[in-house]
Amino acid sequence: MPAPTSHVVTNQPPPPHVPDPLRADPALRAALARNAPPWAAALAARASAFAGDPENHALATLANESPPRLRGWDRYGHRVDEIEFHPSWNTLMARAVALGLNGVAWLEPRRGAHAARAARYLLWGQVEAGHGCPITMTYASVPVLRQHPEIAADWVPRAGASVHDPRPLPVPQKDGAILGMAMTEKQGGSDVRANTTVATPGDGGWLLTGHKWFCSSPHADGFLVLAQAPEGLTCFLVPRLRPDGSRNDIQIQRLKDKLGNRSNPSSEIELWGAFATPIGPLGRGVPTIVGMVNHTRLDCILGSTATMRAALVAAAWHAHHRSAFGRPLVRQPLMRAVLADLQLEYEGAVAMAMRVARAYDDGHAGDAHARGFMRIATAITKYYVCKRTPAFVAEALECLGGSGYVEESGMPRLFRESPLNGIWEGSGNVMCLDVVRALSREPEAAAALHDALRAPAGRDARYDAVLSRVERAMADRDAAEGSARQWVEDLALLLQAGELLEAGPPDIAEAFCASRLAARSATFGALPPGVPLEVAIARALEL
């Protein structure tokens, strides 16, 4: 008997397949060409091939469906403190390392390595976010480790190796190494000066005793840890194994049961006289670790932008293939407004993400102005992009209707992931306070921001109006802290608009300024009348 009409599957989109996400993303292509050297294109193309490979998306699903488990003891009762992973995790790690997302950028003699890496991160980050955490911490540890040349000699080449080596061996015997960090304690995360972990000299090094409330990837080969030495808060490298190969005194208490980021083990640990080596001057732990934190914050921007992009691709794919009320969703005027608005949000985010990454190249090459820009633009952009991501993903999820709420669409994973970067490495308020602090205490950062904001002035009346407003708000030192969210948001939008006015397609810049500078809506798709949408829609659908 032929199947009744009601049993035939119709009007369901085919499984999403974007084999070359870079080719499908004109905004990233333009930002790559503008901010990275020409040699970065071939590396980005390789990352794109990886990111478009359905096998990697299947691995991402597996790694999240089979989260890591803590094995505290062996069968005889000895502590082992091991993390058991599904094999998909190590394959994802190996691929991320092969793409050079770990510390490779620091070993690249050619200028432009950080922007080149950023483009690869933006592509590969669309596949899976959890393993990005140890990859990021490895990348970000390098500038801190380099403050101690003897340690750096062993660790830095391995942090930048092109192979992932999960074997539990002392680092000099390994082909590749990964790093983590442990700053956050129960009584204070943002306020690290409240740390109570104690460091005392002994055993040919230092011994650390204390508790860390968050330590992601506790299987890493080493951790940058803040602890109170007699001289004050100090940064230490704590290896997972002591130099003689025995287990260091780090006990993993439990793994956190988290909202998202499930493939990545985040733990509570106790240090019981753990062997450690100070990095940077004793008592200068905060300025030392800031060298890492700036880079992890850059990756928060990249990771959240990649999450936005993955959500947008899913929404555009669905709207293209699904019809409702007689025509494809993508032809329905309100759906067009939503997709266009999401594309505009992504355009601003990706343009700025790559612009900030370029400042890392120029800043590390000795350009003081770029260093100031990198400092302040990282804080501003991290605040805004990470804050926008959950609302963005929720809207994209809704474009899939009920299917978007169903696990196998992949959207729930993106949604669970979306708030994380807003918390990690400086929550929203802390980022705004960091902007206040940089403006008042770091003249290089204040000057770089001033110049960046002034460069596009005079090109667009809406830009100039917001610039005047923000300059007045910043000048009011008494009110500056309490209203910081408002004017840091303005700063973020001005920086994004400036990039688009300078280099974006005119219709994208126009629509961005009309919808974000002249008027602003709390939801996506509520665009003011007359905003040109067609270019944004076409770019969203270039799949």
Ligand X SMILES: Cc1cc2nc3c(=O)[nH]c(=O)nc-3n(C[C@H](O)[C@H](O)[C@H](O)COP(=O)(O)OP(=O)(O)OC[C@H]3O[C@@H](n4cnc5c(N)ncnc54)[C@H](O)[C@@H]3O)c2cc1C
Tell me the C-alpha distance between 316 and 404, whole Å: 12
- Of 33 and 433, which CB lies nearer to ligand X in the complex structure? 433
- Sole window of 174-182, 201-209, 246-254, 396-404 interacting with ligand X (rule: CB under 6 A): 174-182
Residues 222-261 that bind ligand X (CB under 6 A): 258, 261
Restricted to residues 432-461, the positions that interact with ligand X (CB under 6 A) are 433
| CB nearer to ligand X: pick between 257 and 408 | 257
Q: What angle do CA 136, 141, 147 make, to 5 degrees?
A: 160
DSSP character string of 445-478: HHHHHHHHHHTTTTS-HHHHHHHHHHHHHHH-HH
Binding mask 260-279 for ligand X (x = CB under 6 A): -x----x-------------
* C-beta closer to ligand X: residue 338 or 420: 420
Sign of the C-alpha dihedral, residues 169, 171, 176, 177?
positive
Cβ–Cβ < 8 Å for 151, 172: no
* Part of the chain binding ligand X (CB under 6 A), chosen from 10-18, 149-157, 288-296, 416-424: 416-424
> Left if phi > 0, otherwise alpha if psi is -120 to 50, otherwise beta: which for 283?
left
Nearer to ligand X, 328 or 428 (CB): 428
User: Using CB under 6 A, which of 123, 181, 293, 399 touches ligand X?
Assistant: 181
Q: Which residues contact 58 (CB under 8 A, 6 or more apart)?
A: none
The whole-angstrom separation of Cα 397 and Cα 7 is 26
Among positions 107, 430, 479, 538, the unique one binding ligand X when judged by CB under 6 A: 430
| Closest of 114, 174, 170 to residue 139, by C-alpha | 114
Q: Shortest distance, CB of residue 57 to ligand X, whole angstroms?
A: 22
d(CA 214, CA 197): 13
Least distance CB 401 / ligand X (angstroms): 29
Dist CA 51 CA 120 (whole Å): 9
Distance in Å, CB of 419 to ligand X, minimum? 9
Size of the site for ligand X (CB under 6 A): 24
Please state the closest distance from residue 187 (CB atom) to ligand X, in A. Answer: 8
Query: Which token pair is 22?
Result: 């870079």
User: Which residue type occupies 65?
Assistant: E
Q: Which residue number, 141 or 261, has a Cβ lying nearer to ligand X?
A: 261
CB of 222 to ligand X, least distance (A): 13
Stretch of 38-46, 210-218, 301-309, 398-406 contacting ligand X, by CB under 6 A: 210-218
Distance separating alpha carbons of residues 412 and 312, to the nearest angstrom: 14
- Pick from 27, 182, 352, 374: which binds ligand X (CB under 6 A)? 182
Q: How far is the CB of 360 from ligand X (least distance, A)?
A: 21
E strand segments, 183-317: 198-202, 205-216, 222-229, 232-239, 250-255, 266-279
- 159 or 453: whose CB is closer to ligand X? 159
H helices of 52-148, in order, are: 54-65, 87-98, 104-107, 113-124, 132-145
In the complex, least distance from residue 414 CB atom to ligand X, rounded to whole angstroms: 15
Nearest residue to ligand X on Cβ basis: 189
Residue 299: CB minimum distance to ligand X, A: 13
Q: Select from 63-71, 149-157, 211-219, 295-303 the region that touches ligand X (CB under 6 A).
A: 211-219
Contact 42, 112 (CB under 8 A): no
Cα 246 to Cα 124: distance, rounded to the nearest angstrom: 35
Using CB under 6 A, which of 90, 147, 251, 427 touches ligand X? 427
Applying CB under 6 A, does 184 fall inside the site for ligand X?
Answer: yes
Quote the least distance from Cβ 438 to ligand X, whole Å. 15
Complex with ligand X: residue 419 or 498, whichever CB lies closer: 419
Pairing assessment for the beta strands 205-216 and 232-239 based on DSSP bridges: unpaired
CA-CA distance, 381 to 491, in Å (whole number)? 9
| Residue 383 contacts ligand X per CB under 6 A | no
Nearer to ligand X, 50 or 121 (CB): 121
Alpha-carbon distance values, 155 to 113, 303, 423 (Å): 19, 25, 28
Cβ distance 119 to 184 under 8 Å?
no
Q: Is 162 a residue that touches ligand X (CB under 6 A)?
A: no
Yes or no: say if 255 and 267 are a contact pair by the CB < 8 Å rule. yes
Quote the least distance from Cβ 110 to ligand X, whole Å: 31
Compare residues 337 and 386 and give the one whose CB is closer to ligand X: 386
- Among residues 240 and 516, whose Cβ is nearest to ligand X? 240
d(CA 71, CA 85): 11
Exactly one of 63, 183, 233, 509 binds ligand X (CB under 6 A); which one?
A: 183
Cβ-Cβ contacts under 8 Å for 437 (sequence gap 6 or more): none
Question: 162, 196, 246, 429: which one contacts ligand X (CB under 6 A)?
Answer: 429
Residue 190 as a binder of ligand X (CB under 6 A): the answer is yes
Shortest Å, Cβ 333 to ligand X: 38
Name the DSSP letter for residue 367. Answer: -
Does the protein bind ligand X through residue 220 (CB under 6 A)?
Answer: no
Cβ–Cβ < 8 Å for 276, 234: no
Query: Which residue from 415, 424, 487, 512 is in contact with ligand X, where contact means CB under 6 A?
Result: 424
Give me the residue label for tokens 């270039």: 542
d(CA 348, CA 494): 10
Dist. CA 540–CA 379, nearest whole Å: 28
Residues that bind ligand X in the complex, under the rule CB under 6 A: 180-184, 188-191, 214-216, 258, 261, 266, 420, 423-425, 427-430, 433
